[in-house]
Amino acid sequence: MLSSPATYLDLPEPFWYRQSPEPVRDPHMLIWNEDLAKELGIAALPDAVWAGSETVPHSVPFAQAYAGHQFGHFTMLGDGRALVLGEHVTPGGDRVDVQLKGSGRTPFSRRGDGRAALEPMLREYLISEAMHALGVPTTRSLAVVTTGEPVMREQPLPGAVLTRIAGSHIRVGTFEYAAQLEGTEALRALLMYAIQRHAPHCASARSPALAFLKHCLHSQAALMAHWMSVGFVHGVMNTDNMALSGETIDYGPCAFMDHYDPDTVFSSIDTQGRYAYGNQPRIAHWNLAVLASALLPLLEGEKEAEARAVLDLYPERFQSAWRQKMAAKIGIEDAVEEDDGLIQSLLSRMQEENLDYTRTFLDLEQGIPDHLEDWADSWQKRVGSLGEARKRMQTVNPVIIPRNHKVESALHAAGGGDLQPFTDMLLAVRQPFDRSLLGSPYSEAPPPGTPRTVTFCGT
């Protein structure tokens, strides 16, 4: 067995560059995630630390090098506006990265300023916390600190630094970087590190690379099923934004779908709909194929064919994960293949009738809406007791998702200095399954005919 690096900094230096954050003028803590800090065993430190203006003793901040396929095209990337302050071991023994986002320029900044505006950082904070409350694997948000400095976008905007907590920041794109630019030994070191951190059982496999590919395939299939079940649209599923920890990462132009439509796109830059809601499972498969190609130098002989065979497992793996999640939303335990038709016919009805995705499941908990009567006959036949089914549905169908029209107005208010709508909304999205919030404005779909709000990458 090969020996594994203990921390990311034990990997050869081309994987990272030592880089200090650039101090900011006037750091002020805007939101601190006390529950998360406790869970992680991270003490409250001066605001200046979380803005990158003051260093943490023994910390060696670094920017990670990576590449990636952006909208299908290979590019050299790297942390252009983020720095890992260090790895932290939680009281539970988990190793996490503590990363600042918006902390200033790095060798990877290209023409960017290395900075972040307040509203996009608050969006990441809110949506990642909502995803966590919904039970979806995700990076977490520990803090948002304002910098007292404007960032120049189309207009000057208030600047901020987000502290992100992640299982790691190893991406498909990190493997692409190693394979393309660093050679087989570096690639092997990265693989052993990723395995040690995320899938130790793979270390003793006949082919660790194949075992790790399979591990990532399983975690991505499960993650996609989870996203689909809550109506989440990531918006920019480039290979550099797919984390091999299996967590949702990089909340840019992401949003939750209101009325059901597989073609739903929010992102202003996704003009072709490559990352539309309904395409996400396929794109994850595509990204896994990129991972497999990056691993090829470690797969000699017939293992190449085996890698192809592993990739071919994805559609079935995703379908069964999706089936379990979706069937649970209509109160079915132990879903079987035949349930796909029942689920699909409900989704088709939603699309034809322009129904709100999240509300439809809640409505079915209360009664049978007129336009779903014929569908409900088959549903009742399948579940037997609607009462029992409905009880189960209450545990999986959210009342509260961070609806985009609400997110936008909360962020807009925060940008103008009023944080109250944001903190109110944060409170609501943290209790997504609480039936007492059924009448809350956060549970309401936008009025019919409201145009879909366009979201931006926020760079």
Q: Find the binder of ligand AMP among 39, 54, 87, 113 (CB under 6 A).
A: 113
For ligand AMP, which is the closer residue by CB, 116 or 190? 116
What lies within 8 Å, CB to CB, of 418 at 6+ separation is none
d(CA 202, CA 196): 8
Does 252 participate in binding ligand AMP (rule CB under 6 A)? yes
Report residue 374: phi and psi, to 5°: -65, -40
For Mg ion, which is the closer residue by CB, 331 or 458? 458
Tell how far CA 96 is from the center of its chain. 16
Q: Cβ-closest residue to ligand AMP? A: 112
Contact call for residues 374 and 345 (beta carbons, < 8 A) = no
Does 80 participate in binding ligand AMP (rule CB under 6 A)? yes
Instruction: Give me the numbers of helices (H) and strands (E) for the chain, helices first please.
Output: 15, 12
The site map against ligand AMP for 217-236 (x = CB under 6 A) is: -------------------x
Min separation Cβ 177 and ligand AMP, Å: 11
Does 114 participate in binding ligand AMP (rule CB under 6 A)? yes
Q: Find the binder of ligand AMP among 14, 41, 112, 315 (CB under 6 A).
A: 112
Please count the residues of this chain forming the interface with ligand AMP, following the rule CB under 6 A. 17
d(CA 108, CA 79): 6
Fill in the amino acid letter for 404: N
Q: Find the binder of ligand AMP among 81, 197, 317, 329 (CB under 6 A).
A: 81
240 as an active site residue: the answer is yes
Does 97 participate in binding ligand AMP (rule CB under 6 A)? no
Quick one: tokens of 361? 């499941």
Q: Cβ-closest residue to Mg ion? A: 250
User: Which partner, Mg ion, ligand AMP, none, binds residue 293 by CB below 5 to 8 Å per kind?
Assistant: none
Q: Find the binder of ligand AMP among 247, 250, 258, 270 (CB under 6 A).
A: 250
Residue 407 zone, left/alpha/beta (φ > 0; ψ -120 to 50; rest): alpha
d(CA 41, CA 133): 20
Active-site residue identified among 240, 258, 270, 356: 240
Question: Please, what is the angle between helix 280-295 and helix 208-230, to 10°?
Answer: 170
User: Which partner, ligand AMP, Mg ion, none, binds residue 78 by CB below 5 to 8 Å per kind?
Assistant: ligand AMP
Min separation Cβ 77 and ligand AMP, Å: 4
User: Which partner, ligand AMP, Mg ion, none, binds residue 457 by CB below 5 to 8 Å per kind?
Assistant: ligand AMP
Site for ligand AMP in 173-192 (CB under 6 A): none
Quick one: tokens of 266? 């929010």
For Mg ion, which is the closer residue by CB, 80 or 421? 80
What lies within 8 Å, CB to CB, of 430 at 6+ separation is 129, 130, 133
* Maximal CA-CA distance, the chain: 65
Q: Find the binder of ligand AMP among 79, 97, 119, 129 (CB under 6 A).
A: 79
Does 115 participate in binding ligand AMP (rule CB under 6 A)? yes
Fill in the amino acid letter for 119: E
CA neighbours closer than 13 Å in the CB half-sphere of residue 250: 23
What is the per-residue DSSP string for 113-181?
A: -S-EEHHHHHHHHHHHHHHHHTT--B-EEEEEEEEEEEEESSSEEEEEEEEEEES---BHHHHHHIIII
Q: Find the binder of ligand AMP among 21, 78, 167, 398 (CB under 6 A).
A: 78
CA neighbours closer than 13 Å in the CB half-sphere of residue 311: 20
Does 242 participate in binding ligand AMP (rule CB under 6 A)? no
For Mg ion, which is the closer residue by CB, 151 or 327? 151
Min separation Cβ 248 and Mg ion, Å: 12
For residue 448, the 8-state DSSP code is T
- Interface ranges with Mg ion (CB under 5 A): 241, 250
Q: Find the binder of ligand AMP among 4, 20, 109, 196 (CB under 6 A).
A: 109
Does 241 participate in binding ligand AMP (rule CB under 6 A)? yes
Dihedral sign computed on CA atoms, order 235, 239, 145, 429: positive
Binding site for ligand AMP (CB under 6 A): 77-81, 108-109, 112-115, 236, 241, 250, 252, 457, 459
Report, as residue numbers or ranges, the catalytic residues. Answer: 240
